[in-house]
Chain A
Amino acid sequence: MSISVINNQHKNRLGKIIGIYLLLSAAAVAVDQIYGLFSHGVDSAAMTWMFLYPLLGGAFYYFIFGKLIPDLAQRPGFRLLLNLHSSGIGTLTAASFLQGVFEIAGTDSPHLTYYYGIGIVFIIAGFVILAGICQNRSFNSGKPGPKEEQP
């Protein structure tokens, strides 16, 4: 397989991931707007701004790191990074949604702490994997590393 084909596959893969996150951001905005129709004019910052998690934490994150590490998607460990980081973003977005629901209703829940905590743990774990990916030399040395499954 030629390098240009590999590079195109990499770009396509990252582009697909970024596109999914952009869709999720749009979905978060839609959820906030639709929920607002039924909340008797009450709003919540947590609900309003929850789209920032997939937008900044997802689309922007992979866009930046895709530029900094051009072959990021091809490196060993990328699947694990993607899984951990996405789990963190998903959990934080869910926490923000629930917090918004509770604030609009005027109630609370002790469970929210666990959502935010687990989300942050996943994000940190993702950064640890990312650091490991950056130090992976097997790909840079020209030797083929473990083949990453294509989505």
Chain B
Amino acid sequence: MFKFLAKPYRWAILYSVVLIAAMAFTLLDTFVLPKALAAVPKASTSTRTDPSSEEIFPDNPEDSEESSSEPVITENSYEDENIKITIETIRKHNTTIYVADIRVSDPSYLKTAFADNVYGRNITAKTSDIAEENNAIFAINGDFYGFRDAGYVLRNGVAYRDTARSRDNDALVIDADGNFSVVSEGEISLDKLSDMGAWQVFSFGPALVVDGELTVDSSSEVTRSMASNPRTAIGQISPLHYIAIVSDGRTRESAGLSLLELAQEFLERGCTIAYNLDGGGSSTMYFNGEVINKPTSGKRISERAVSDIVYIGY
């Protein structure tokens, strides 16, 4: 064996083959090989009527789930007894921005879903496919939890991952009443959040607006991302009143937004809290059966498969 390896280049060739094989496996394991870690219970549809919603939905009977009357649907809006969504498309910063104004009568209409209804790594599907499977009226991509091994994951009341990310990262918490808050993963455990009534927890960030104040500046960016990117973010104006923003980017038509520009859009619309979700090629907005933005995948306009979505539906 030693004599064999002592010959010139034999060790180098053998080790190079082993190293390349190991790298290939590592890359496959990280980006390709699906690993289902938990089955997902069907999302709860129990409703908890909020008195403040009666102003927007005055005729909403208590304990109703599905709308009893036909919704009014246009190209840019959806309205029924429980859900009202208006989509506005604007041009700013050389970028097309899609702003969804969402009002619901009950927090249970704000839901999340996993690709293929399975929690795991590298289990992905297009936002539109996940939305369609869950009969979503409106959907945006989530935090792509499945691309990492850390970051809190709690969806529809079920905790899936309690490993905090390495740095002091912001997590978005949505409680059972549909109210948003931002916590630092390093300062509170997922168990504690669950005990406090967290219903959804997302781990991407950063927070854009907290208590009505900007929390990012011109130097802020997601890890090492470039300044202008396609973006997805969600914010809250008041109880059961939300704003979701998706921007195009990385194309000739749309340069993309910086985090500061994105945060300013939420602030201008009166959001007291807003949080950045996964952007780049993941940014997708789905409404009434169609993808309405232009998600980029490499050089083409096409949807990227993602781990999860946030959606409005029954």
A interface list, Cβ under 8 A from B: 40-44, 79-80, 83, 86-87, 90-91, 94, 97-98, 101-112, 115, 149-151
Stretch of B144-152, B167-175, B193-201, B236-244 at the chain-chain interface: B144-152
Encoded as 1 (CB less than 8 Å from any A CB) or 0, chain B from 194 to 234 comes to 00000000000000000000000000001111110100000
- Determine the main DSSP class of A at the interface with B: helix
| The residue from A44, A91, A149 contacting B6, defined by CB atoms under 8 A apart | A149
B interface list, Cβ under 8 A from A: 5-9, 11-12, 15-16, 19, 22-23, 26-27, 29-31, 147-150, 222-227, 229, 250, 280
| Residue of A whose beta carbon sits closest to that of B16 | A90
B224 and A79 contacting across the interface, CB-CB below 8 Å: no
Closest Cβ of chain B: how far from A99's Cβ, in Å? 11
B12 and A83 contacting across the interface, CB-CB below 8 Å: yes
Closest Cβ of chain A: how far from B232's Cβ, in Å? 14
CA distance A57 to B29 in the complex (A): 29
Known: A106-B148, A107-B31. 6 other contacts (CB 8 A): A42-B226, A90-B19, A91-B19, A104-B224, A111-B29, A111-B30
| The residue from B11, B19, B22, B31 contacting A83, defined by CB atoms under 8 A apart | B11
A40 and B12 contacting across the interface, CB-CB below 8 Å: no
Closest Cβ of chain B: how far from A39's Cβ, in Å? 9
Closest Cβ of chain A: how far from B30's Cβ, in Å? 5
CA distance A96 to B150 in the complex (A): 21
Closest Cβ of chain B: how far from A50's Cβ, in Å? 13
CA distance A43 to B31 in the complex (A): 19
**A98-B23, A101-B27 known; A108 and B149 CB under 8 Å?**
yes
Closest Cβ of chain B: how far from A30's Cβ, in Å? 18
Closest Cβ of chain A: how far from B165's Cβ, in Å? 9
**A109-B29, A110-B149 known; A44 and B19 CB under 8 Å?**
no
B226 and A150 contacting across the interface, CB-CB below 8 Å: no
**A44-B224, A109-B29, A151-B9 known; A94 and B23 CB under 8 Å?**
yes
Chain A residues, Cβ within 8 Å of B16 = 90
Chain A residues, Cβ within 8 Å of B147 = 105-107
A151 and B8 contacting across the interface, CB-CB below 8 Å: yes
| Residue of B whose beta carbon sits closest to that of A107 | B147
Chain B residues, Cβ within 8 Å of A91 = 19
CA distance A106 to B221 in the complex (A): 12
A106 and B223 contacting across the interface, CB-CB below 8 Å: yes
Residue among B5, B9, B30 with max Cβ neighbours from chain A (10 Å): B30
A111 and B19 contacting across the interface, CB-CB below 8 Å: no
A83 and B5 contacting across the interface, CB-CB below 8 Å: yes
Closest Cβ of chain B: how far from A96's Cβ, in Å? 12
Chain B residues, Cβ within 8 Å of A111 = 26, 29-30
A87 and B224 contacting across the interface, CB-CB below 8 Å: no
B15 and A109 contacting across the interface, CB-CB below 8 Å: no
B224 and A43 contacting across the interface, CB-CB below 8 Å: yes
Chain B residues, Cβ within 8 Å of A106 = 147-148, 222-223, 225
CA distance A40 to B148 in the complex (A): 20
B12 and A42 contacting across the interface, CB-CB below 8 Å: no
